[in-house]
C-alpha cells in the first residue's frame, strides 16, 4: 500500500459492485464487507497517485475470500483498465491489509468487489 503520509489525490472512490458467491446479495449480507472496506478508501485513493494517467478515472475489481471468522482476506484476480503496474500492486496490498469483519452467517465467503475512481476538478 502507498505510505500513509503520501498526499491523498483529489479523486472520488465509490463502490460500484459487490457480489457474494452463493449468497442472497442483500444489504445485511453486504454490510460487514462494506463496513470493512470503506474506512480504507483513502488508502485506495493514495494508490491512484501511482496510476500512469491520473486525469482518467476507471474501475478496479478484485476477488476476496474472507474466512468465517473474518480477518485478512485471500486476494486474487485483480482487474482494471487503469494503467500502471504500481497502481495495481498498491491496490492488491491495500486490500490485503484490510481486517474484514466476520461475514454474515460466519462462513467462508467469496466476494467480487469493485470500485470506481473519478478524478475531481482541482
CA of 91: how far to CAs of 18, 23, 29, 68, in Å?
A: 16, 25, 24, 23
Position 122 confidence tier, pLDDT thresholds 50, 70, 90:
low
Domains, the chain, ranges and CATH? 14-119 (3.30.1150)
Q: Is residue 26's pLDDT more than 90?
A: yes
Q: Is residue 1's pLDDT more than 90?
A: no
Cα–Cα distance for residue pair 58/13, rounded to 1 Å: 10
Which pTM does this prediction carry? 0.93
In 3D, which of 69, 79, 59, 76 has the Cα closest to residue 111?
A: 76
Q: Is 36:111 a contact under the CB 8 Å cutoff?
A: no
Predicted pLDDT of residue 93: 98
- CA within 13 Å, CB half, 53: 7
pLDDT (tens digit per residue) in 30-46:
999 999 999 999 999 99
**Cell numbers 491512484 correspond to what residue?**
48
pLDDT (tens digit per residue) in 14-24:
999 999 999 89
Q: Is residue 10's pLDDT more than 70?
A: yes
Amino acid at each position: 500500500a502507498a505510505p500513509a503520509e503520501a498526499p491523498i489525490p483529489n479523486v472520488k472512490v465509490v463502490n460500484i459492485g459487490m457480489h457474494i458467491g452463493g449468497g442472497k446479495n442483500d444489504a445485511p449480507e453486504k454490510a460487514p464487507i462494506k463496513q470493512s472496506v470503506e474506512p480504507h478508501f483513502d488508502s485506495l485513493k493514495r494508490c491512484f497517485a501511482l496510476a500512469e494517467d491520473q486525469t482518467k478515472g476507471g474501475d478496479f475489481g478484485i476477488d476476496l475470500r474472507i474466512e468465517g471468522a473474518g480477518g485478512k482476506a485471500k486476494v486474487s484476480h485483480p482487474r482494471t483498465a487503469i494503467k500502471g503496474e504500481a497502481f495495481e500492486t498498491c491496490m492488491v496490498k491495500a486490500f490485503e491489509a484490510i481486517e474484514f469483519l466476520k461475514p454474515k452467517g460466519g462462513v467462508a465467503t467469496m466476494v467480487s468487489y469493485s470500485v470506481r475512481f473519478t478524478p475531481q476538478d482541482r
